[in-house]
Amino acid sequence: MNKSSFLTVASNIAISKQLLKPVSIRSRIELLKLLEKHIISNRTEIQYALLKDMGKPHSETDLTEIIPVITEVRHAINNVSKWSSDTNVKRTLVNYNSKASVKYTPKGTVLILAPWNYPFNLILSPLISAIAAGNRVVIKPSEFTPSTNQVIRSIIESSFEPEQVSIVEGDASVAAELTAMPFNHIFFTGSPAVGKKVMEAASKNLASVTLELGGKSPCIIDKSADLKKAASRVIWGKFINCGQTCIAPDYVLVHKDVADEFIKHALTELKRRFPDAYEGKNSDDSYGNIIHEKHFNHIKGLLKDALADGYELLSGGMYDESTRFFAPTIVLEKSLNDELGIMHEEIFGPLLPIRTYESENEVFEKIGSLPRPLATYVFSKSKPFIRDCKERIVTGGFVSNDVLSHFIHQHLPFGGVNNSGTGRAHGFYGFREMSNETAVLETGIGPAGAEILGTPYTRFKKKLIERALKYL
């Protein structure tokens, strides 16, 4: 089908406000099993597609794209029956002869707008939640990952009928056409700037939205931290996927008393984990490339401005425009210029600024001066300090003594706060996000509230209302 045909299918799905026939739990499970089968059988194709689109190593594709999706789909298969069951709630005095429950029903039609940085994972994971909840779905992948999109299309068309799940490719203009359609729910992953446009478009149809955005996720390292372990985990979490990860540590706040030792360990870890890239060589089989020229130039500009403003280059800084290779780079802040881009906007690339601090208040003031982050990481052996960070920092996810790991925890919700997003994904939380929570009240034999407390308001009923105000 051509673009027009795919948009027609998408439009038909969008205007199907109610599913003609509810998708049974058994059918949902069978669809998810079929999806799992085709993902596994296409593992090699997925690996080579991501290598072509992003220079992503095969092992990294397994680790960050395929394994999380397989984990998600198996978790849904094993739990969708339980998730879909009506949840009974307690009776109240007013509704004493009624049975109350919460029923999860499909939202109806869902649009998934996916990004380029994890082009397989961030399409398939929300799709799994949408199917588990019984919805029809249209997915629109990024135009910057054509090889990956081709494999995804093959998997989707082998697993679903077009009326159940359809894929539409194209640029931002296609996304704009899709968001204008009357979907019941839109799931978007991308930048806050585009997220605002998606929310505005959704508001015209009063559609609910899930916005998985980004922001400057801080990493705090206090004096008590295991510095070698912290350095190893921060370097891995920052530079995996060439830094193009929404929950990567965006900048480091390290106590001045241990800054030199932390930096020493960080440089050692950088050389150990990415030996060729550390030397500026585009031959490291554990390191990828920047997605496209515009983003490459953005990162290059951030580094140029930082160095011009007095930042000290600790490692990296080398790049190759022809291949979009950008060496993993660490800089040390000297100027404390918070208006500079590198400390004012999400970096989303292999560039890690380090800032020192003296007091805890400096940490909270800096983080509080920026929009609320998608994730916050704290390395410390001090339980009181970790507790203070957990209580004082408003963030989508909070992790102590590790990075990124909350994303793959099957029983935790994933999402942001305000500028970093709204709504939740993964596991039961993704299922619930794609469902309507319907209040069900089944009144039994006997008097109801209308007879007991309703009009006419006799003297006796007025006394009952007075008692209700006191005891209910």
Report the alpha-carbon distance of residue 397 to residue 28 in Å, rounded.
30
Residue 87's DSSP bridge partners are: 102
Q: Can the peptide bond before residue 456 be classed as cis, meaning omega within 30 degrees of 0?
A: yes
- Those residues whose C-beta lies under 8 Å from the C-beta of residue 430, and which sit 6 or more positions away, are 72, 125, 126, 128, 129, 132, 424
- Those residues whose C-beta lies under 8 Å from the C-beta of residue 277, and which sit 6 or more positions away, are 284, 286, 287, 325, 327, 328
State the catalytic residues: 212, 246
Does residue 278 contact residue 328 with C-beta atoms inside 8 Å? yes
Half-sphere exposure of 203 (CA within 13 A, CB side): 6
Strand order in the sheet with 87-89: 87-89, 98-106, 435-443
Angle CA 377–267–239, to nearest 5? 50
Q: Running DSSP on this structure, what letter comes out for residue 292?
A: S
Q: Running DSSP on this structure, what letter comes out for residue 372?
A: P
First to last CA, the chain: 61
Does residue 425 contact residue 415 with C-beta atoms inside 8 Å? yes
Closest CA to 274 of 330, 331, 346, 333: 330
Strands 421-422 and 208-212: antiparallel
Compute, in degrees rounded to 10, the torsion defined by CA atoms 155, 197, 429, 346.
Answer: 90
What is the separation of C-alpha 174 from the centre of its chain, rounded to a whole number of angstroms? Answer: 22
